[in-house]
Amino acid sequence: MAIQPPQSAAASAARAWIGFLLLLLAQFAVRPLISARASVDFLVIAVLFAAVRMRPGLAAVVGFGAGLAVDALVPTAFGAAALAFTAVAFVASRVKAVFFADHVALTALFVFVGTLLFDALNAAFSGGARGSDLVVQLLLWTPLSAALTAAVAVLLLTVFRPLFRPASG
Amino acid sequence: MARSVRGGGRLDTGLLVTCLLLSVVCVVMPQRFRDSVSAALRQTVLFPLVVLEGKATGVRATISARDELLATRAQAITDTLSLRAVTDENTTLRRLLGLSARLGDGFVVAEVLPRRGTNEDFRMTLSVGSRAGVEAFAPIVTADGLVGMTERVDSNTTFAITWASPDFRVSGMSETGSAFGIVQAHLGAGAERLLLELRGVPFREKLDSGEVVVSSGLGGTYPRGIPVGRVIGEITTTEKWARTYLLTPSVLPAGIGPVIVLRSARGLRGVNTIWTNVASADSAARAIAAAGDSVARLSAMAELAARRSAVDSAVTDSLLRDRLLSTPPTVRSPMTRVDSARADSVRRARLDSMRRQAPSVPPRTGPPPALELR
């Protein structure tokens, strides 16, 4: 039985930040290429994967920063993404012991629920869509986006496991 | 341990509350502050991401534009092909119109119906039948030449064979009439199957490459002068006493669109000059247009009538003069120029004597009297 060498906390944190930066770049470099109504939200994956490695307070700060970056690019709803990301990151960090077990299906469910929560909060606070548009957004496009994001998250976790899997022990 | 956990929990809660408060402040702050804050972020911290997103969007726009370009190019090609098809059809119809004008009457225009079976390579079905005047064993032609022959005629449909049929035969000759033979399908393989051959040409007659072969009129089915093909070259056969030539058909299978079925009466009157004397079908089309113009037709008729009356009056005057003089019309040859002075004097003397004997004829002012020319 192979015994994994113990990882230092600094190396693990460095890998986590590299993974976060790569996902941040993917959000702004890859997502526009595959832009559609239901698209992958790489920033949600980055925030969720970072949040499970941090304390809830620090996760909230990271979520706030990521949300502020999104808001700065969409000034009409300035603050909405920051609010949603703060809440999602804090909750994700709180429930990491429950959801982020070493199980693919649970990870997918974690990302799916996180994306749903973020989209719902973002839609509620941004005030862009109203009435039937909001219903269609929340009942159709948000679940589709969440499912797509969860699938990509599982794929990334499988392919780039050292970057996104928290250090055991 | 419990104190540190509680302290960490307070810190987490404090950070959460702070972030939430800042977020709420961002949401509720006035628009101009929002704009200034977001602009400052875009121009400093987020500048690399903004540039990255802009380039990614540009790449996507390029891909979309390329898709649109390809779609536009494909549409342009499709339009060009359809335009070419329409142009070709227009040309064919114009040429057929010209042929119709040259034939005048005694023919039936027909459309070739789509093929209904796989064994109709050398046969075709026409959209007209006996009700339109189509007869069995009548030649089918286009503006380019001979297409085939009708076989069976129903009331509304005609079944015909083309020149490519193994049963097809037509007596052919060179355009100059120097060599005769029988034209039939060249039963070769592949693309050569769509060629013709002129068999049985006397050995002493030699045809050059490119020479046009027309129907000779022998046999009665095909009138003389319909182009059948053009000589490619001589081929060797077992018949040592005669020559056989390979021909390119005048009407290619792809060019068979609307066709003309000649009626027997029109064939008997001859079509010898229909394909050979008129240089272009466009002139025929112009002739049709001119004939359709009633004013032009009336003026042409009036001019013709005037010419006829002038000719008639001239003939009448000469006949009248000859009758009055009772002398046969003299034809003066150049060789009689020496005696012309004497002849004129004699005629003058005779005229004088007639004037003395016969009553004088008053000068004619009205229309010329009707005279029967014999």
Q: Do A86 and B28 touch (CB under 8 A)?
A: no
Nearest-CA residue of chain A relative to B41? A72
Query: Is B296 found in the same domain as B186?
Result: no
* Nearest 10 degrees: Cα torsion A137, A138, A143, A149: 70
Which pLDDT belongs to residue B107?
87
pLDDT tens digits along A105-160: 888 888 999 999 998 888 888 776 677 778 888 888 889 999 999 999 989 888 88
- Whether residue B244 is found in the same domain as residue B291: no
* Structure tokens, B71: 């779609």
Residue of A22, A83, A125 to mutate, testing the B interface (most B Cβ within 10 Å of its Cβ): A83
Domain assignment present for B243? yes
Mention every residue, 6+ apart, whose C-beta is less than 8 A from residue B279. none
- Contact between chains at B38 and A28 (C-beta distance less than 8 A): no
Give the total number of structural domains in chain B. Answer: 3
- Alpha-carbon distance values, B286 to A21, B96, B165 (Å): 79, 13, 36
Query: Is residue B14 situated within a structural domain?
Result: no
Instruction: Based on the fold, state whether residues B155 and B269 are members of the same structural domain.
Output: yes
pLDDT in tens, B24-51: 898 888 888 888 888 888 888 888 888 8
Among B68, B96, B124, the domain-final residue is: B96
- One domain for residues B127 and B235: yes
Q: Does A31 touch chain B (CB under 8 A)?
A: yes
Whether residues A78 and B60 touch (CB distance < 8 A) is answered with: no
**Same domain? B204 vs B242:** yes
Q: Residue B84 burial by CB count (10 A; 0-12/13-18/19+): exposed, middle or buried?
A: exposed
Task: Supply the pLDDT for residue A152.
Answer: 92
B240 is a domain residue: yes
User: Looking at A32-36, B132-136, B172-176, B217-221, which range is the least confident one?
Assistant: A32-36
Clarify whether residues B153 and B300 are in a common domain: no
Q: Looking at the structure, do residues B272 and B298 belong to the same domain, yes or no? A: no
Model confidence at A33, in pLDDT bands (50, 70, 90)?
A: confident
Verify that B113 and B180 share a domain, yes or no: yes
Smallest CA–CA distance from A81 into chain B, residue: B23
B355 in any annotated domain: no
Of B15, B22, B49, the CB nearest to A69: B49
In a domain, B11, yes or no: no
Element (H, E) at B5: helix B2-28
Show residues of chain A in contact with B20, CB under 8 Å.
60, 83, 86-87
> How would residue A62 be classed by pLDDT, with cut points 50, 70 and 90?
very high
Question: Which among B27, B37, B50 is the nearest to A83, CB-wise?
Answer: B27
Chain B residue nearest residue A94, CA to CA: B12
Domain that holds residue B183: 107-278
In DSSP notation, B58-127 reads HHHHHHHHHHHHHHHHHHHHHHHHHHHHHHHHHHHHHHHHHHHHHH-SSEEEEPBPPP-STT-TTEEEES
Write the CATH number for B192: 2.40.10.350
Specify whether B270 is located in the same domain as B299: no
Residue of B211, B204, B214, B212 lying closest to B243 (CA atoms): B204
B169 and B313 fall within a common domain:
no
Using an 8 Å CB-CB cutoff, list chain B residues near A67.
Answer: 23
Say yes or no to pLDDT of B370 above 50. no
pLDDT band at residue B276 under the 50/70/90 scheme: low
B68 and B134 within one domain: no
